């Protein structure tokens, strides 16, 4: 197992290094002088020169990258130009919001996707199979922003069941927090549920025709035990790894969904930073989300290794 982890780390570390190069290159490709932007309206030459020295802007580009990378490894991702706060603090503030949304969306996706995939595989060729496939393809095809707007118009505006937008911390009011998070979680969860359903259905169909399932039936086990204990248990191996990757995408920030429902997570943070040309925040969020996605890929490989006995053998 240790050798497996080391091999995956040897793949992940160069990828992370390339991400840092691309993120650092953002500030080199952007027009304008960073020192002038940091100096504000009072562009005193002495202040500008002090800023250049502080941020090593007078050094060669490789030296600037080395200073930036060392600072990033120590948790220093720069200062936001808009509100003069450390980028690390902004990320830490937004992380619980996006994490909660990702967890809720993933729970919805797993419940709907696995259940629909299981029924579709067992009832292959029936109306249940056709209906589950239609629902799955609809969840994948319908844009998140359109579904979010339709839910707001129907559930919030017409029926008045749930608030249309906003966010309340669960520490302040758990009930109000769930009321505000359920619709965006459904929007994100239905899209992933379609993917999970297709993978579950495909894996279950393969498992149903496997030798160990025929052996379990030959032993006289009930069909329910055969499907749930033997077929589904093995079919969930690729589904779990796929779910891990999908969870990594959710943590990267659901930009459109958070904008539609005005949720102050990573998506809204990076959109606001782009509109305000807050390049330090853009760099920090992109670096953080890229690192998280690499870690989720590493976790998916590890789970696949743990759940698949053939790899351990």
Residue 144 in tokens:
């998140």
pLDDT band at 200; cut points 50, 70, 90? confident
pTM for this model (two decimals): 0.79
Mean pLDDT of 127-142: 80
Span 146-191, pLDDT tens digits: 888 888 888 888 888 888 878 888 888 888 888 888 888 888 888 8
Q: What is the pLDDT of residue 191?
A: 83
Looking at residue 278, what DSSP letter applies? -
Q: Give the CA radius of gyration of the chain.
A: 24
Q: Which residues contact 233 (CB under 8 A, 6 or more apart)?
A: none
Pair of tokens at residue 188: 């994100």
Segment 4-8 long-range contacts (CB within 8 Å, at least 24 positions apart): 4/301, 4/302, 4/305, 4/311, 5/302, 8/298, 8/301, 8/302
Residues of 18-34 as b/e, b for ≥16 C-beta within 10 angstroms? ebbeebbeebeeeeeeb
Mean pLDDT of the chain: 79
CA-based nearest residue to 26, from 55, 83, 58, 68: 68
Task: Supply 55's token pair.
Answer: 């941020």
pLDDT over 80 (residue 95): yes
Domain with CATH 1.10.3720.10 in the chain: 88-312
CATH fold of 88-312: MetI-like fold (1.10.3720)
For residue range 245-281, list pLDDT tens digits in order: 788 777 765 777 887 888 888 877 887 777 766 777 8
Compute the distance between CA of residue 64 and CA of residue 126 in angstroms, rounded to an integer: 63
Look at residue 39 in the predicted model and tell me its pLDDT: 64
Mean pLDDT of 107-131: 84
For residue 82, pLDDT beyond 80 = no
pLDDT higher than threshold 70 for residue 8: yes
d(CA 239, CA 233) in angstroms, rounded, equals 10
Retrieve residue 137's tokens: 């393809």
């Amino acid at each position: 197992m240790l050798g497996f982890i080391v091999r995956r780390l040897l793949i992940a570390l160069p990828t992370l290094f390339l991400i840092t190069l691309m993120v650092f290159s953002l500030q080199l490709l952007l027009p304008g002088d960073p020192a002038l932007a940091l100096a504000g309206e009072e562009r005193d030459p002495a202040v500008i020169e002090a800023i250049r020295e502080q941020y090593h802007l007078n050094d060669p580009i490789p030296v600037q990258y080395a200073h930036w990378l060392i600072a990033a490894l120590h948790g220093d991702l720069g200062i936001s130009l808009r509100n003069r706060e450390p980028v690390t603090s902004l990320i830490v503030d937004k992380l619980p919001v996006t994490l909660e949304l990702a967890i809720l969306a993933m729970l919805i996706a797993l419940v709907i996707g696995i259940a629909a995939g299981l029924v579709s595989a067992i009832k292959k060729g029936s109306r249940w199979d056709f209906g589950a496939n239609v629902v799955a393809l609809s969840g994948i095809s319908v844009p998140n922003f359109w579904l979010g707007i339709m839910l707001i118009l129907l559930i919030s505006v017409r029926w008045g069941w749930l608030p249309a937008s906003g966010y309340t911390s669960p520490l302040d009011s758990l009930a109000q927090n769930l009321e505000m998070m359920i619709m965006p979680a459904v929007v994100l969860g239905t899209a992933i549920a379609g993917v999970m359903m297709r993978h579950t259905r495909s894996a279950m169909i393969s498992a149903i025709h496997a030798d160990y399932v025929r052996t379990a039936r030959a032993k006289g086990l009930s069909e329910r035990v055969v499907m749930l204990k033997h077929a589904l248990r093995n079919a969930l191996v690729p589904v779990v790894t796929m779910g891990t990757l999908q969870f990594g995408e959710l943590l990267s920030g659901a930009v459109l969904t958070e904008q539609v429902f005005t949720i102050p997570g990573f998506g809204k943070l990076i959109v606001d930073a782009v509109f305000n040309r807050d390049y330090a925040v853009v760099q920090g969020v992109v670096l953080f989300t890229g690192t998280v996605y690499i870690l989720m890929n590493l976790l998916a490989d590890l789970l696949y290794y743990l759940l698949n006995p053939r790899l351990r053998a």
